[in-house]
């Protein structure tokens, strides 16, 4: 395939809040601390809209904003791919609970926030963007599937693509059925052409070449996080970008396959 | 950028009108609706629904048991319909199992299974039943994993969930993946099934009609919720091609989470892009299958959008009066209806239209017509301001 270029990164996860801090951790300059993620207050969405959003929506918007800001591009100009394995468990819990009550009092706001593309809808309003947007899932392979869709868009359409991957732990009792160790959000602003601010060149391969195996975090203490949230599958890729390494990364993909990402810093 | 020509070499459809495309075609031609008074015991408000009969008694068994939920039962039924699984089997032998992608849309997947699990929470611990398998039923990807395994496919795959545009956008995603070289052919489609979340959710927004829905009617007052599953096999066009995917357009409203832009700006943008990608003039489109949900604001916005792009002469209709609004399956359902229009030279009426809203301008068909058309458009718009228009054409 034709290479794509990484122009901006956003990240929000325990001990990895914002790319500058995350980069130092991934470089091994500072030790990773498994500390709770602070409350997020994304800035682009007007306060009256932000009031209606959930923790999952804020997580997606926060990292999207950071990636766009870092790339120095107009938020409205990027096509978007929102990738989440399970969507908003908090809303599912509230909806299913309401359906058990007398008269099944589902809240209208809760219902329109329940669609998988709710973060994408709020982002379009925040960024004032009428550009194409999609919202996907591929369970534990969601990050890779989002990356493939993003590069497919770049190959067939000139616009930059903002990939936003995010999942948030479920409340009880859903947490007993699908457990994520922590919230994790990551956004990559991808372009078809390189410029002075390009962070890395990426080339995807499917099926993988040679003996590419699933990549892990160099810091073993972060492995539980990588395996404990579908969006955190991105960590080995982010580590390679932070370290400006020329290397190949194996990411989990669907149907038992791996997706290979060749990175040139 | 224009798209390389893709043909629809097989398709299947299951909805309230019956199992198979022939049931839908016959109902369209005889103007017989599939809607019925809501007969679900848990629903305590009056409405009409488009229910697929018999799913309750068709559990997924054996190795498919972990996937068992209403949505995946409907998925399996549609895969077995209209010879679709056989057609994919032949394609698999030609292309290889790694080279056929699967791109499916859904809005709520198997959420009905989670609703049921909540009704069965342990009285003491609050836990959900042990046998409840969230990942293989409720998760948005569950229908793709089921479909891949059922058809023996091992290539690229993803679910798209953008509310009521979901299974229109799968055509765009599949075309991109084929064009970028990640697969040679693709199974596209969508499945959505009745659940309390959508019935009570739309009711909370006062968007559900107590009567059969009446798109474009002066007295329209909301949707009827339906369920459906549909699939199409997309391949590079060859000499056998009858129906082609000619273009797609996608856009965002950037306006409101559950109300369309009142001037239909986003919708018009999607239609213009679809025409541009197809390389067609607006005068070359012979029929538009409207999203036409029958809520006052949706139809008003779509009317303005269609008028902006096409003017007021192109024949249009909403077929929701037959099937109900099948949400995440509406895109594929109406794409297949658009293909039936191309193949049978038959333009369906806008069922249940008694008195056209005088505020609406476009040419909505009061009666069905026999007419050969070469190119058709299908519109799908969803919550969150997600718009998609598709152009299908008949081979010259």
- Kindly write down the DSSP assignment for every residue of B235-249, as one continuous string: EE--TT--EEEEEEE
Q: Where are the domains of chain A?
A: 4-199
Catalytic residue flag (residue B213): no
A122 contacts B257? CB cut-off 8 A = yes
Alpha-carbon gap, residue B233 to B150, rounded angstroms: 15
Beta-bridge partner residues of A186: A11, A165
- Taking 90 as the threshold, does the pLDDT of residue A33 lie above it? yes
**pLDDT in the model for residue B11:** 98
Q: Which of B67, B70, B65, B66 is nearest to B52 (CA)?
A: B70
Mean pLDDT on B57-77: 98
Alpha-carbon gap, residue B250 to B34, rounded angstroms: 30
Model confidence over B122-142: pLDDT tens digits?
Answer: 999 999 999 999 999 999 999
User: Residue B396 class from Cβ within 10 Å (0-12 exposed, 13-18 middle, 19+ buried)?
Assistant: exposed
Place B3 in a pLDDT band, splitting at 50, 70 and 90: low
Mean pLDDT on A174-189: 98
For residue A170, the 8-state DSSP code is P
**pLDDT in the model for residue B2:** 59
Cβ contacts (< 8 Å) between B127 and chain A: which residues?
Answer: 173, 176
Catalytic residue flag (residue B164): yes
Place A211 in a pLDDT band, splitting at 50, 70 and 90: confident
Place B269 in a pLDDT band, splitting at 50, 70 and 90: very high
Q: What tokens does A66 get? A: 């950071």
Alpha-carbon gap, residue B56 to A244, rounded angstroms: 56
Query: Quick count: other Cβ atoms within 10 Å of Cβ A70?
Result: 19
Q: Which strands make up the sheet holding B48-50, listed edge to edge?
A: B36-37, B48-50, B225-226
Q: What angle do CA B195, B199, B203 make, to 5 degrees?
A: 165
Q: What is the DSSP string of B14-59?
A: EETTEESHHHHHHHHHHT----EE---TT--S--EEEPPTTGGG--
Place A265 in a pLDDT band, splitting at 50, 70 and 90: confident
Q: Which of A262, A251, A229 is nearest to A13 (CA)?
A: A229
Looking up residue B39, the CATH number of its domain turns out to be: 3.40.47.10
Provide CB contacts within 8 A for B262, sequence distance 6+. B297, B300, B301, B304
Alpha-carbon gap, residue B351 to B214, rounded angstroms: 7
Q: Which of A258, A53, A4 is nearest to A151 (CA)?
A: A4
Residue of B38, B97, B110, B118 to mutate when probing chain A, most A C-beta within 10 A:
B118
For the ranges A47-51, A101-105, B27-31, B299-303, which has the lowest average pLDDT? A47-51
Q: What tokens does B389 get? A: 């228009």
CB nearest A1 (choices: B107, B180, B256) = B180
B1 falls within a domain: no
The crossing angle, in degrees rounded to 10, of helices A55-71 and A118-127 is 40
Alpha carbon of B35 to those of A236, B18, B337: distances in Å? Answer: 52, 11, 17
Alpha-carbon gap, residue A125 to B385, rounded angstroms: 9
Place domain A4-199 in its CATH homologous superfamily.
Thiolase/Chalcone synthase (3.40.47.10)
**pLDDT in the model for residue A158:** 79
Q: What tokens does B222 get? A: 């909301």
Domain limits for position B74 = 6-394
**pLDDT in the model for residue B1:** 52
Beta-bridge partner residues of A134: A81
**pLDDT in the model for residue B374:** 98
Mean pLDDT on A107-116: 96
Model confidence over A6-16: pLDDT tens digits?
Answer: 999 999 999 99
Catalytic residue among B291, B316, B375, B388: B291
Least Cα separation, residue A110 to chain B (angstroms): 8
**pLDDT in the model for residue B258:** 86
Model confidence over B11-20: pLDDT tens digits?
Answer: 999 999 999 9
B314 falls within a domain: yes
Cα B308 to chain centroid distance, Å, stands at: 24
Count of domains forming chain B:
1
Note whether B160 and A135 are within 8 A (CB): yes
Least Cα separation, residue A147 to chain B (angstroms): 11
């Amino acid at each position: 395939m034709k290479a794509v270029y990484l122009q901006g990164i956003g990240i929000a996860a325990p001990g990895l809040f914002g790319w500058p801090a995350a980069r130092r951790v991934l470089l091994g300059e500072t030790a990773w601390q498994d500390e709770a993620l602070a409350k997020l207050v994304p800035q682009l969405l007007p306060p009256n809209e932000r009031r209606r959003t959930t923790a999952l929506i804020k997580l997606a918007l926060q990292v999207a904003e950071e990636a766009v800001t870092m790339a120095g591009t107009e938020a409205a100009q990027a096509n978007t791919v929102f990738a989440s394995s399970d969507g908003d468990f908090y809303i599912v819990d509230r909806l299913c609970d309401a359906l058990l009550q007398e008269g099944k009092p589902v809240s209208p706001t809760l219902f329109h926030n329940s669609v998988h593309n709710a973060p994408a809808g709020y982002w379009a309003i925040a960024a004032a963007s009428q550009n194409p947007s999609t919202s996907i899932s591929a369970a534990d392979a969601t990050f890779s599937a989002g990356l493939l869709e993003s590069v497919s868009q770049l190959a067939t359409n000139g616009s930059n693509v903002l990939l936003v991957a995010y999942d948030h732990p479920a409340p009880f009792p859903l947490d007993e059925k699908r457990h994520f160790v922590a919230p994790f959000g990551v956004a990559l602003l991808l372009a078809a052409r390189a410029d002075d601010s390009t962070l890395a060149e990426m080339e995807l391969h499917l099926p993988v070449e040679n003996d590419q195996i699933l990549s892990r975090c160099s810091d073993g203490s972060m492995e539980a996080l990588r395996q404990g949230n579908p969006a955190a599958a991105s960590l080995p890729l982010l580590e390679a970008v932070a370290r400006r390494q020329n290397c190949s990364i194996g990411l989990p993909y669907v149907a038992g396959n791996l997706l290979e990402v060749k990175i040139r810093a | 950028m224009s798209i390389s020509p893709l043909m629809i070499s097989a398709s299947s459809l299951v909805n309230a009108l019956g199992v198979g495309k022939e049931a839908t075609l016959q109902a369209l031609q005889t103007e017989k609706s599939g809607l019925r008074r809501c007969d679900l015991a848990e629903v305590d408000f009056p409405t009409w629904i488009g229910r697929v009969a018999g799913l309750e008694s068709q559990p997924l068994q054996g190795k498919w048991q972990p996937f068992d939920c209403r949505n995946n039962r409907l998925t399996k039924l549609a895969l077995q319909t209209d010879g679709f699984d056989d057609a994919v089997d032949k394609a698999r032998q030609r292309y290889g199992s790694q080279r056929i992608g699967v791109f499916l849309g859904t809005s709520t997947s198997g959420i009905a299974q989670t609703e049921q699990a909540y009704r069965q929470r342990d009285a003491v611990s609050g836990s959900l039943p042990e046998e409840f398998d969230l990942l293989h039923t409720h998760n948005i990807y569950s229908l793709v994993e089921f479909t891949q395994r059922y058809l023996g496919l091992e290539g690229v795959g993803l679910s798209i969930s953008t509310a009521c545009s979901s299974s229109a956008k799968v055509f765009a995603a599949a075309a991109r993946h084929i064009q970028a070289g990640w697969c040679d052919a693709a199974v596209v489609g969508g499945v959505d099934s009745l659940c309390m979340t959508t019935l009570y959710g739309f009711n909370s927004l006062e968007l559900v009609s107590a009567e059969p829905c009446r798109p474009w009617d002066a007295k329209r007052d909301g949707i009827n919720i339906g369920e459906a599953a549909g699939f199409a096999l997309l391949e590079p066009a060859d000499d056998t091609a009858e129906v082609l995917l000619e273009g797609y357009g996608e856009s965002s409203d950037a306006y409101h989470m559950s109300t369309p832009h009142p001037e239909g700006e986003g919708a018009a943008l999607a239609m213009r892009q679809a025409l541009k990608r197809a390389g067609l003039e607006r005068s070359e489109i012979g029929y538009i299958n409207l999203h036409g949900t029958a809520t006052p604001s949706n139809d008003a916005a779509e009317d303005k959008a269609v008028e902006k792009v096409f003017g007021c002469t192109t024949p249009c209709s909403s077929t929701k009066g037959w099937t109900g609004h099948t949400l995440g399956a509406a895109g594929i359902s109406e794409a297949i209806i658009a293909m039936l229009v191309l193949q049978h030279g038959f333009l369906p009426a806008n069922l249940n239209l008694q008195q056209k809203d005088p505020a609406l301008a476009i040419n909505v068909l009061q009666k069905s017509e026999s007419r050969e058309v070469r190119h058709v458009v299908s519109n799908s718009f969803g919550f969150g301001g997600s718009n998609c228009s598709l152009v299908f054409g008949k081979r010259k």
